[in-house]
Structure formats: structure tokens, C-alpha cells
Chain A
Amino acid sequence: MSVIDLSNLPYPGNNLRSFLDSVCEENELDFAAYAGMDPIAQTVHGFVNYPDEWQTRYVNEGFQHRDPALLLASRSIAPVDWQRLRGETTFRDIFRAASDHGISEQGLTVPVRGPYGDVGLFSVTRNCSDREWGLLKTKILGGLQTAAVHLHDNVIQSHSLTRKLTHPSLSARELEILQWIAAGKSQQDVGDILSISNRTVEVHLRSGRSKLGALTTPQAVGRAIGLGLVHPS
């Protein structure tokens, strides 16, 4: 398993490292890291906004081969709080080393499972007390889940073969809702027109955005129009 720093590679339309910076900024976090395994392209991608010396040491000491935040979190469907890993010897070894670089052992890893056996692990850390961490986590976890899947999908689809296999397949309901949004209707209007609850509109919109690799609804509408799934009005 080798770590490719995507942030040093040309990456059209995306700067993944600045994405990590903005996630940290928005969520009061110190650092973020992503590692993704793509079985189709047979590659492992990793990029972080940790201090450079820690990145170098992490790779030189081969921590990616035994870091429980990576190895164990991929077996969970829920975000894994590192508090759950404190009993692991390897966790203590790595975090003793990390503390030399100002990295706290307070953190969590969001596992992402993709449709082709691809797995992404999005980790964030923040130096604070257990109490503060608990409060922060409750506030940011939903947003982190969305950010993690968005990041993972973008990395996986940067490989051309994978992109060809992952043409977004939207349901009739998702397309119908996006079509009304493209026509300028609000979410509430769409619910009224289709006689469904606002929550139903919301859950389909979330799904539509996820399938189109978009973080916002306007972005999703734009991409759906670009793919000919929705007609501009």
C-alpha cells in the first residue's frame, strides 16, 4: 500500500487539500486526512493537511500499515471515535509519535463504502477536552458524513475507468424533483405539486446530490442538465 499525495498532482477542477482546509475551517477542526482504496484502479490515494514533518514520518515509519484508525474504521458503518481505539497498542504508539507534531488523539474516522468495494476513510482531529469534543461531534457529524462521501466519490471518479462505470443512475422521483427545482420551484412548492412531504423531497434531493457528486442543489441541477437528465427551462 503506497500513499499518493493527490494534492501534489494536477487535478482538474478540484483542489482536494483546500477542500480539507475548508472542512477544518467550517467545523472547528485542527487537521483532516483522507485515504481511499479503489479496487478497480488498484490504487490507494491519500492526502492530508497535517504538518509536512508528520506526513513524512508517518509514511517513513509505515504507520499506514498498522494505523487502527484506518484498519479498524473500515469495518464500521458508523464514524469511529478514536476513544474506542485507545486500548489498541498500535494506536498508542502512533499517537505518542503524533503528539511530537502537535496532533491530538482526540478525533474520529468516517468510513465511506462505495458501490464497487471502494472504501474511503476520512479522519479529523481537534485538540480539546473529552467534553468539548462530545459537543463538537454532535454538531458536525452529519456534515462530516456528507463531506466524506463527496470527497471519496470525487477521488474515485477521478479515475477514468471508474468514472465510466459510475454513470449516475437517478430514479424517476429524483429526476422529477430536480426538474421542478430547475423550473425555479422551492422545495416546499415541489412537495405541494407532487403531494409529498417536505421530508420526502429532502431525502430524494440528498440522494440526487450524492449521485451527481454535488454538494449543493444548484450544482446538482447544473450537472443533471449537463448530462441531459433534466431539461433547462
Chain B
Amino acid sequence: MKSLKLYFKYIRINMLSGLQYKGWWLMILQTLIVVVTDPIGIILLFYRFGSVGEWSVEKILLIYAIAVTSFGLAETFSRGFDYFPWRMIRSGDFDRILLRPCSVFVQVAGSFFHIHRISRVFGGFCAIIWCMLKLDAVFSPLNVLVLIMALIGGYFAYTGVFVMTSGIAFFTIEGLDWIYIFTNASYQVTRCPIDYMPKILRNLFTFFMPMLVISYYPASAICGWGEGYAKGLLALPAGLAFLGFSLYIWRFGVRHYQSTGS
């Protein structure tokens, strides 16, 4: 309870300091433009080629939007881990955190907060609603529950990626760019219709990093494309499991931390 209060205090202070810049709303606008223009390639491709079998542009966009929204949530509320390797290990600031008698996890998670990241959540959420309306999905209590569980599960999964990166960063900081495959590049995978997706991609993003479990299966359950609700509800446990695995790596890293900086 105490750590939760501390976390929100951190977030509040970081948010207020961000608002000091005169152009802060321009940053929100900028991120919103990024979010809106990112799927432009796939939309234009559908415009020229038409649907792929039974895969229409709305179906693809729904899966894509769920993944993007979860990523946005993780980016908004666990930003500290995203920045951790570069901002805290290199400078030696992590030593100071270790000295304080509070949860290390909370202190790192709350260490950065950028208000403009919320526009990714906002844009993604609008896209989800638009696609569901277009696809005539029913907004029944069960469907809404599946969607919310999917987003929370997705938040855990993407936070897991950030935590894992930070854990690995204790051992090597050079060449961490490949982790990009599991963050910004991961939701690009959803542009492939799932029936045609190469097996290796499908397995990687189902059984290792559960990106498809938190996006495709819930979407399929909600709109009735053939996957059942049981698989749709797997999103939350899968996200938690991945976060648990990442926390294990993180703990291992913290135990082996040798101070840097001066």
C-alpha cells in the first residue's frame, strides 16, 4: 500500500515537471500524429488490394489496435524501466535508489513519466472502439471484460519486456537495440493475417512473448472469429507469467549489480 502511494506521488511530480514546458501540448500532438500515421502503409495496401480472403482492414486494425494500446499503457505507466539502462545504470544513479528503504521496483517504475505517451493509449482505444463498431461486435458485459483483461494483460506483458531489458542491462549495455523487436516492432507483426503468418513468428509471439495472446485471441473471442472465450481470457495470466519471468531476470541482475559511474 505504501509503495503504491509512493508510486503515484512519483508519477504526479514527474507529470507536473513535464507540464512546465510551454510546448507540452505539441508533444501530445506529435505522438498522436505518430500513432495515427503508423498504420497508413497497411491501410493503403488494403485500399489497393482489397481484403485477403476473409481478412478485412477492420479485422487487422482491431488486433493491431489492442496491441498498440497495451504497449501505450506500459509506456505510460512503466516508463522508468524503458529508460533505466541509459539513464540510471550509466550515470550510477541506481546506487542512490538502492540506499533508500523503499521498493526498488516502484522507484524505478515511477522515475519517468511523460504525459504525451498517453496519446498512444487514447489513439489505440479510439481505434478499438471504431473497429468493433464496424465489425458489429456486441458490447456485452463478457466482451467488455475480455477486452479489459486483454489490455491489462498486455500492459503486464509489455512492462515485462521493459523489465527484462533493464535486467539484461546490468550485464551489457552495448547493443541492446535488438529488444526493439519485442517493443515497437512487435505490433507490426499483427499486420500479417494470422492464417498466413509464418509458424516461427506465430510461435515466438505466442509462447515466448505473448503478444498474440493479448491481441489476437481476445479480438477473436469478442468478434466470434472462431477462438473461444477460454483462450481470450488467457491474456491476463499470460501477461502475468511473462512479467514474472522478467522479474526473475531483473532480480538476478540486481543481485549481481556492480556500481558504475563516479
Whether A associates with B in a native complex is: no
Residues of chain B whose beta carbon lies under 8 Å from any beta carbon of chain A: none
Residues of chain A whose beta carbon lies under 8 Å from any beta carbon of chain B: none
